[in-house]
């Protein structure tokens, strides 16, 4: 780690992630002096000898463990690729992680992680509401593999988690505790540090019954990596849909998982086997996007604050789920102050009149696009109950705050007053 392109400091001065995004992990000397990392769009790599090929495969398959500072040789782009590895290195920098792997989508990151850490008979504990795809994976596909699940309501915090752990322990070994904070789409916050402490206490009290401490995995898509860093608060894994803020231009699909080397190596082995690896072109686009991540998220968050102020004063809006509105008398306020550096730019608001009223608003939008996803440069709005969370049974949707009149909006980097003008005419 002596070359300039791998350094994270200038003398005693530690470089910040937004500066490291411009070149960390990439040596121009290896690519004809190109200032930007090329897209290594190749399926396979040439070995210098058969002996080298054997060694590289032993490393890639996990049969040989590398020593500190050593790098795995290039074998095949399902296993490793220079563009992919550089993107992984830079996301790890943002997350403060030892290692990171990237995948073909956010859901492939989540599914690969859960498959790597769970076996038939295990139990996954998860927060609700959670992204609809995650909910369907846990309660549908994994259930078919005899991997069970117990949910708890995000707004109940660690009290809800404690009850869920107690219930799950009667069903089998708990492999993973997966939380999404803020949750999607109601923006409830969960105290990550308290979750870690509770999980450790639970494990100590269940020695012999519990195989190991459950892994604490946090879906950080809604605020990360700028406004929240789960690993710093005790999470074992930090996951993203890179499609959202990190990609940031609504032109790619991707996911990532960051954590310590041992845990990521275990998950990477499964990724390489089942083929959920990201392609090199998408990884190249991720590198482009990481350079502007900070300024995009700052602009969108600033715009969201203005939009929220407008909606607060509107007589057709009955509720706004936005962390920036938390007040000191609310239980989640202290969590927000301790854990978050910003409120983000994706939130939900409820309108009077239920589904039809919400549909009327969405159908009248002109500047804001009616589409799912979030975190892009353009503003997007959708109806969670009918769209992203439609796979969640109605009774459960209602119990976790996803009502028929709820609209989720992701504020982009347009002029905020133009977004407000569009919402004003749609709500009129």
Give residue for tokens 């660690």. Answer: 158
CB atoms within 10 A of CB 387: 15
Catalytic hit among 6, 36, 78, 167 = 78
Per DSSP, the residues of 140-192 read IIHHHTT-EEEEEEGGGHHHHHHHHHHHHHTTS-EEEEEEESS-TTT-----H
Catalytic hit among 229, 244, 296, 397 = 244
Contacting residues for 94 by C-beta, under 8 A, at least 6 apart: 17, 224, 225, 290, 293
123-128 and 99-103 as β-strands: parallel, antiparallel, unpaired? unpaired
Dist CA 203 CA 102 (whole Å): 30
Q: Give strand pairing partners of 176.
A: 124, 215
Catalytic hit among 131, 240, 245, 322 = 131
Active site residue 78: yes
Dist CA 39 CA 2 (whole Å): 25
Active site residue 408: no
Active site residue 219: yes
Catalytic hit among 95, 219, 236, 422 = 219
Give how far Cα 100 sits from Cα of 74, 135, 160, 239, 269, Å.
17, 24, 30, 9, 13
Active site residue 244: yes
Give residue for tokens 């070149």. Answer: 23
Dist CA 284 CA 179 (whole Å): 29
For the chain, how many helices (H) and strands (E)?
15, 14
Active site residues: 78, 131, 219, 244
């Amino acid at each position: 780690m002596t070359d300039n392109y791998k350094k994270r400091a200038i003398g005693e001065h530690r470089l910040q992630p937004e500066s490291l995004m411009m070149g960390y992990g990439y040596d121009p000397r290896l690519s004809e002096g190109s200032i930007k990392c090329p897209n290594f769009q190749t399926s396979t790599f040439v070995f210098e000898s058969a002996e080298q090929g054997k060694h590289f495969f032993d490393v890639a398959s996990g049969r040989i463990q590398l020593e500190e500072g050593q790098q795995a040789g290039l074998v095949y782009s399902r296993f490793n690729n220079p563009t992919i590895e550089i993107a992984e290195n830079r996301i790890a920098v943002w997350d403060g992680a030892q290692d990171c792997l990237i995948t073909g989508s956010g859901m492939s990151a989540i599914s690969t992680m859960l498959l790597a850490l769970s076996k038939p008979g295990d139990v996954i504990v998860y927060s609700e509401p959670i992204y609809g795809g995650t909910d369907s994976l846990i309660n549908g596909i994994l259930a078919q593999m005899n991997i069970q699940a117990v949910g708890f309501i995000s707004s109940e915090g660690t009290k809800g988690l404690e009850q869920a752990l107690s219930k799950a322990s009667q069903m089998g070994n708990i492999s993973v505790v997966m939380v999404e904070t803020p949750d999607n789409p109601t923006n409830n916050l969960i105290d990550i540090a308290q979750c870690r402490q509770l999980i450790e206490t639970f494990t100590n009290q269940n020695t012999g019954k519990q195989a190991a401490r459950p892994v604490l995995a946090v879906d950080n898509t809604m605020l990360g990596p700028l406004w929240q860093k789960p690993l710093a608060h005790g999470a074992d894994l930090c996951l993203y849909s890179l499609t959202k803020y990190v990609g940031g231009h609504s032109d790619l699909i991707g996911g990532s998982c960051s954590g310590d080397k041992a845990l990521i190596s275990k998950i990477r082995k499964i990724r390489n086997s089942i083929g959920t690896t990201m392609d090199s072109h998408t990884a190249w686009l991720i590198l482009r996007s990481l350079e502007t991540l900070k300024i995009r998220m700052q602009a969108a968050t600033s715009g969201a604050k203005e939009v929220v102020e407008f909606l607060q004063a509107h007589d057709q809006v009955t509720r706004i789920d936005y962390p920036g509105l938390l007040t000191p008398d609310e239980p989640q306020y202290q969590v927000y102050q301790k854990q978050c550096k910003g409120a983000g730019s994706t939130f939900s608001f409820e309108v009077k009149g239920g589904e039809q009223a919400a549909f009327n608003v969405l159908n009248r939008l002109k500047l804001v696009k009616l589409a799912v996803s979030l975190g892009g440069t353009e503003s997007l709005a959708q109806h969670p109950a009918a769209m992203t969370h439609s796979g969640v049974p109605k009774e459960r949707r209602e119990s976790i705050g996803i009502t028929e009149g709820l609209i989720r909006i992701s504020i982009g980097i347009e002029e905020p007053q133009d977004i407000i003008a569009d919402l004003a005419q749609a709500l009129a």
